[in-house]
Structure 1
């Protein structure tokens, strides 16, 4: 199943830099592992915001929830999910 996922990160302004840097490094490692597995085939930065638009290709809603809640930045994210279906005009 394909999902359009928008994620906006809202780290607390008083979070120590070393802690934020560690979380971001773990996030990158986790995300890139999902990309290599084909579960996170597309990610785009939203210009001017600490946000991204992504496409996930997973088995079902439960798998998507597990992957998203496993993101190290998850506690500080506002996430919006839209399930996608093939358009009848698509080739």
Structure 2
């Protein structure tokens, strides 16, 4: 099972810079272990306000308790709170991997589908089928990297690559279910401990 984990650090006021640097160094060294075990899949930096220290992580674990073991083993946990969201398999997920796009940025996109009351079931079914075809096309182009179901009806999470938000917006607007979807986009920055970077 996969999880998206929002990890927020709160360094106690007055903590010496040397102590922060030491914890960071130990975290970087430790992250290689769960990555090698297939527990830590990705790490990203989301947009941050001044003074914020937050990371998004994609983890794999058999269940919630095993995930907690992995998170608790990380040195930064002494200053960190974690919020884990379980991710379920999506039928249109292009996993295990999509081709790369040189120079493209990564984005997490949350979708909530809510068709207007009275929309014929056949109309919805046709849009779902057309969307599956479009998802395969975008995966082949390297735009759609991963796709998961989120808890709750009609909710999904996608990992996308695009040059910028303008290109991504145009791609999402062309989806067959676009008129029924509410979309929340999070631009992702590189994290120095991301297994996708350290493995290359």
Q: Tell me if both proteins adopt one fold, taking TM over 0.5 as the criterion.
A: yes
SS at match of 2:122: helix
Match in the other structure for 2:139:
35
SS at match of 2:190: coil
SS at match of 1:41: strand
**Distance (whole Å) between structure 1 residues aligned to residue 132 and residue 192 of structure 2:** 35
Instruction: Point out where structure 2 has 5 or more consecutive residues left out of the alignment.
Output: 1-104
SS at match of 1:13: coil
Q: CA RMSD in A?
A: 1.2
Aligned residues: 91
Aligned equivalent of 2:160, options 40, 50, 56: 56
Mapping of residues 14-33 of structure 1, within 5 Å: 14-33=118-137
For each residue in 1:6-63, what CA deviation from the matched residue of structure 2 results, as whole angstroms up to 9, or x when unmatched?
0010012311111111111111111111012111011111134211111101111111
RCO (CA 8 Å, sep 6+): is it higher in 1 or 2? 1
Larger gyration radius, structure 1 or structure 2: 2
Q: Does 1:70 align with 2:174?
A: yes
**Distance (whole Å) between structure 1 residues aligned to residue 171 and residue 127 of structure 2:** 16
**Distance (whole Å) between structure 1 residues aligned to residue 155 and residue 140 of structure 2:** 21
**Distance (whole Å) between structure 2 residues aligned to residue 30 and residue 52 of structure 1:** 16
